[in-house]
Structure 1
Amino acid sequence: MRRAPVIPVLTVEDAADARPVAEALVSGGLPVLEVTLRTAAALDVIARMAAVEGAIVGAGTVLTVRDLDAAMEAGAQFIVSPGLTESLAKAAMAREIAFLPGVATAGDIMRGLDLGLDHFKFFPAEAAGGIRALQALAAPFRQCRFCPTGGITADRLAEWLALPSVLCVGGSWLVPSGPVDADAVRLRALQAVTAAGRGV
């Protein structure tokens, strides 16, 4: 979460796009890549992106321990889940892989703390109340740090990152659906890094 201000959230339909997308994002200053397990190609995409120099590739939309094991076998270095379950959290800890579970309520965060977790994905960020909601949630949980994801756009990036509890944000705007334009992806990555006030 400290390696880059934005974690691109990637839903890649064609594994042939994996390398050019990863290379564009890494060269644009965003080396931490979350590949969602929402397509048939996802595990192949993780494997291909993991071979790109400088890329730190993880799996998103990890819902079960089976998903976790498949993602790790493909080369995932971290996993992200839209929610928090005890079984998935304990499996991630047993396998010693970085785990970013989704939370949206105080109860979610307290369950995470009970499991020894203090870094969370705030999801779905905008639908769950946006910046004001996270500010309110973070106040009693000062030891926790968050990666808001869900509905965040480039024009609100700096506002989210200004929150003391936020280490980074997850964003799907960097690689929109449709044909891949690697130059455009790299430009959006550079713009995100600049908006966050960090150099490449």
Structure 2
Amino acid sequence: MTPNEQSRQTKELCGLAPVIPVIVIKDAAKAEGLATALVSGGLPVLEITLRTPAALDAIRAMAKVAGGHVGAGTVLTADDAKRAQDAGATFAVSPGLTDTLITACSDIGLPLLPGAVTASEVMAAMDAGYDMLKFFPAEAAGGAPVLKSLAGPLPQVTFCPTGGVSTANARDYLSLPNVICVGGSWVAGDADVEAGNWSEIEAKAREAAGLARA
């Protein structure tokens, strides 16, 4: 799978809902209930970060939920990509982009949403064949004003900003022509997940799904 094909698929996924929940899960036993609540609330695309020992088991459980598209975040190496795919992930998200990761995801046919912040990083990703990118860490890197500025010289690239995105600023990003969706952790907060408060999470998902894009 070429980078161009990967970007086409990740762009389609990003277009399914205005928010992709970014999930750090500590207990895989909560995964299926969490995914069901999010998908039922209108957020079918889920990013499970590979930051905990439970992440791969969580991906396996979430992949069983009808209507969901489960991906792995914080994919840094070829091994990360392979283990994520074997667990059932249908796409990968990375904070950056390396030649090793490009080759690995291309070889195994795993769509990759790579991260970029600066104009040079975006141009390097474009040279590699990617035009759907993660903008991370969004707020720390300057937020919506920076993305708006990048749209001028690089209008052919679209983004999913992640990192510091919340209900307070999500619309600022979604109003930009080069933003398809945002990634955020507010929909599935630690307290609600630990308590198994699926009705509250579904309500937050429904609210997030109603956020307007440009």
TM-score by length of 1: 0.96
Q: Deviations over 1:163-188 (max 9, x none)?
A: 00000000000111132311111011
Q: Aligned partners of 1:195, 1:113: CA distance in 2, in Å? A: 29
Could you say which residue in structure 1 is the equivalent of 2:97? 84
Which aligned segments of 4 or more residues in structure 1 are displaced greater than 3 angstroms?
none
Partner SS state of residue 103, structure 1: coil
RMSD across aligned positions (CA)? 1.3
What is the one-letter code of the residue matched to 1:66? D
Give the aligned length: 198
Q: Tell me the distance in 1 between the aligned counterparts of 2:209 and 2:47.
A: 17
Give ranges in structure 1 of 5+ residues lacking alignment.
none
Residue type matched to 2:199 in 1? D
Q: State whether residues 157 and 196 of structure 1, in contact with CA within 8 Å, keep that contact through their aligned partners in structure 2.
A: no
Secondary structure at 2:47 match in 1: strand
Structure 2 segments unaligned to the other structure (5+ residues) = 1-13
Return the offset for 1:196. 2.6
State yes or no: 1:191 paired with 2:207: yes
Q: How does 1:111-190 map to 2 (within 5 A)?
A: 111-178=124-191, 179=194, 180-190=196-206
Paired AA for residue 120 in structure 2: G
Q: Matches of 2:212 and 2:33 in 1, distance apart? A: 24
Are 1:23 and 2:36 an aligned pair?
yes
Once residues 158 and 27 of structure 1 are traced to their aligned partners in structure 2, the CA distance between those partners, rounded to angstroms, is 22
* TM-score calculated relative to the size of structure 2: 0.90
Residue in structure 2 matching 1:38, options 35, 43, 51: 51
Deviation string 1:113-153 (CA, Å, 9 cap, x unpaired) is 11111110000000000010111122211110000000000
In structure 2, C-alpha distance between the alignment counterparts of 1:105 and 1:90, rounded to whole Å: 22
Identical residues among aligned pairs (%):
51
Q: Provide the rounded CA distance (Å) in 2 between the counterparts of 1:97 and 1:60.
A: 13
Give 2:84's match in structure 1, choosing from 49, 52, 71. 71
Structure 1 residue 87: Cα displacement: 1.1
SS of aligned partner of 2:210: helix
| Equivalent position amino acid for 2:128 in 1 | L
